[in-house]
Structure 1
Amino acid sequence: MTSILSATELKAELAGSRPPVLLDVRWQLGGPDLRPEYEAGHVPGAVYVDLDRELAGPPGKGGRHPLPEAEAFGAVMRRAGVGTDTPVVVYDGGLGWAAARAWWMLRWTGHPNVRVLDGGLAAWTAAGGELSAEAPAPEEGDFKPQPGAMGLLDADEAAALARSGLLLDARAGERYRGEVEPIDRIGGHIPGAVSAPTTENVGPDGRFLPAAELRARFGALGASAEGEVGVYCGSGVSGAHQVLALSVAGVPAALYAGSWSEWSSDESRPVAVGPDPQ
C-alpha cells in the first residue's frame, strides 16, 4: 500500500464506508504546545496526539525524543480509536515531520494501514476541506503494538551501517558540517554518514516530490531497494520523514531513533565535521 494520500483522496475515504481514524499531530520543536490550534480547528473527527508526551519517552541518555514504551503508545492509540485493522491517516500543520513520526511509530509497532496526508493541514484547507472545533469521542480501539515491523538502529548499528551500507543524515547541511548546532552538545555528523536534508524531499507547497524524482534523488546518494539504508536526524522526528520519503521512492530504510541527540551526548563517540562523510 502507499504511505501517503492526497487531500482529495482523504475526502473520498472519509465519505466512504470505511473511513480512517484521523490523528492530528501538530507540533513545533521547542514549543509552544499546539493543542490550542487543534482545538480552534481541525479536520472533522481528528484526535489530537502530543508528540513530546505521547510519541516519545522522557528525554535523557536515549536522546531528546526516545521511543516511548510500546504499551504506553498502544494505550494512546487505542484511546484515539485505532484498531488493529482500522485505516489510519495522520497529519500535522507544518513540514510533515511530526505526522511522519506517528506514521513510523504505528508502522514500527505493526499497524498495516497507516498513511500521511501529503501537504498536511494546508493541503486539506486548500482543497476546500472544512475544519471543526468539536472534540471527537472515538470508540476505544483494540490496537496492540508489536514492535519490530520497521527497521530500527541503535548507535552501534548506525555507526556500522555508515561503513557497510548507507546512513543518511536528514538534518540541515550546516548542522551536518558542524558549522552550527542550535540544539545538541556539538555539531558534526556520524563518521561515514551522507548528508541528505529531509527538506529537499518536498516542494514549496510541502507536498512530497513525485516518486520518480525521489528515487532519482536517493539513487544519486547511493540508496536502492536492494541496499541497506539507514536514517538519522536530530532526535528521530525529521528522520522519520526521511524514512517516509524513502518509502514513497520504494526504498526500505531503518531509523536510528536516538539520532544525533543521543550520539553527541556520549563524548566517547567520534564526530566528523565538514562536507565529506569521512
Structure 2
Amino acid sequence: MAANDVLIDTEELAGRLDDDTIAVVEVDEDTDAYAAGHIPGAVMLHWVDDLQSESGRDFVTGDELAELLASHGISDDQTIVLYGGNNNWFAAYAYWLLAYRGVSNVRLLDGGRTKWELEERETTTDVPDPSPGSFAVGEPRPELRVFRDEVIAVAEAGDGSLVDVRSPGEFSGEVMAPPHLPQEQPYVAGHVPGASNIPWSTAANEDGSFKSVDELREIYEGAGIGADDDVIAYCRIGERSSHTWFVLHELLGNDNARNYDGSWTEYGSLVGVPVELGS
C-alpha cells in the first residue's frame, strides 16, 4: 500500500481542518496532553477506557467500536485521521484495531503530536461537541492478529520471523519495562526464543515521522526480515508492536505481517513456555 494511502502529513492536515470529509482523532494512554492543547476539531479516545473491553483482556467488538466512533460524531464516509504522543504508539494501535475490525478509510498523521508541536502548528483546548454520526464497520480481518498458541508453537519450533520491538534492555532481560515505568512487573524478563530485536524507534525520525520506504526496507532486510516473510511483531502491551506492524504491513507492503497484541505481558506470564535471556 502506498504511503499516501495510509499517512497524511502535517501540512496537508493543517490545510484541511475545516474539511468535513475527515475526522481527526487523538488516541493516547491519558487525556492530559489533549486537555492541555490538541489539533482543532480533534476528539479524544483513551486507549484503555474507550478501546478495551470492560471485562477480560481484549478490545471492543466491531459493533461497540462502531457505536464509539458514531458517538464522537464520526461517520463511515469520512476519512479518520489518527494521531497521538510517543510517536503515535497508541494511534498506531488504534489504526491496527480499526483495520482488524474492518475499518479501512484511516490514516496516521505522520509524526503525530510530536511533529505537529515542533512545527508550532495551531492547537486548542476547545473540546468539540459533535452530533452523533452513523458508522458501520466492514468485514473483520483476523489475518492481522496472532494469539499466544501460535507464538508458543513458533518459539518451540524455532522457525518463523518474530520481531521483538522493545528496547535492547527489555529484550535482553536487563530491565522489565521502559525506563519511565515501574520495573516490578507481573511477568518474567527476557524474550521469545528466536526473536530478532528491532526496536520500534529505528523506524522513526527525530520529529516522530516515519523514515523513507528505502530506509525502512534496509532496516528490516538487514535484520533478515524479507518482504514476504511471515512476521509476528510483539512488544510489552501491543502498542509499540502496532507501530512496527504499520511499518511492515502498510508502508513496506508485507501482507503476512501480524501483531501479537498479547505481547510480553501475556507471554512472559505463562507457565512452562520457552524464554531466552541476553542479546
Q: Is 2:221–2:227's contact at 8 Å kept on the other side of the alignment?
A: no
CA contact (8 A) 1:215 1:250 kept: no
Structure 1 range deviating more: 226-235 or 123-132: 123-132
Instruction: Give the Cα separation in 2 of the matches to 1:149 and 1:123.
Output: 32
Give the residue type in structure 2 aligned to 1:244: F
Distance 1:6 1:161, change over 3 A: farther
TM-score, normalisation: structure 2: 0.86
Aligned to 2:204: 202
Contact 2:87 2:114 in 1 (8 A): no
Match of 1:155 in 2: 148
2:53 and 2:139 mapped to 1: Cα distance? 17
- Match of 2:275? 271
Structure 1 length as normaliser, TM-score?
0.86
The residue number in structure 2 matching 1:19 is 21
Partner amino acid for 2:278?
G
The runs of 5 or more residues in structure 2 that have no matched partner are 177-182
> Structure 1 residues 154 and 88 mapped into 2: Cα distance closer, same or farther (>3 Å)?
same
Q: Distance in 1 between matches of 2:266 and 2:200?
A: 19
Is 1:224 equivalent to 2:216 in the alignment? no
User: 1:100 and 2:95 equivalent?
Assistant: no
Mapped partners of 1:20, 1:148: distance in 2: 23
1:251 aligns with 2:243: no
Match of 2:37 in 1: 41
After superposition, the C-alpha distances for 1:132-189 in whole angstroms (9 at most, x for unaligned) are: 2221122323133643265110012123345332111111111111122123411111
- Give the equivalent residue in structure 2 for 1:174: 169
- Which residue matches 1:31? none
The aligned length equals 264
Write the letter of the residue equivalent to 2:161: L
Cα distance in structure 1, aligned partners of 2:224 and 2:230: 10
Mapped partners of 1:91, 1:150: distance in 2: 24
C-alpha displacement of 1:90: 0.6
Answer yes or no: is 1:130 the counterpart of 2:125: no
- Report the residue type matching 2:46 in the other structure: D
Q: Secondary structure at the match of 1:116?
A: strand
1:31-110 aligned at under 5 Å gives the runs 34-57=30-53, 62=57, 66-110=58-102
- Secondary structure at 1:188's aligned position in 2? coil
Q: Give the Cα–Cα distance (whole angstroms) in 2 for the partners of residues 242 and 221 of structure 1.
A: 14
SS of 1:54 mapped into structure 2: coil
The separation in 2 between residues aligned to 1:161 and 1:97, in whole angstroms, is: 26
Identity %: 30
Query: Could you say if the C-alpha distance between residues 226 and 93 of structure 1 is closer, same or farther in structure 2, counting changes exceeding 3 Å?
Result: closer
Which residue among 119, 134, 144 is the counterpart of 1:141?
A: 134
Deviation at 1:93, TM superposition (A): 2.4
Aligned pair in 2 of structure 1 residues 150, 130: CA closer, same or farther (>3 Å)? farther
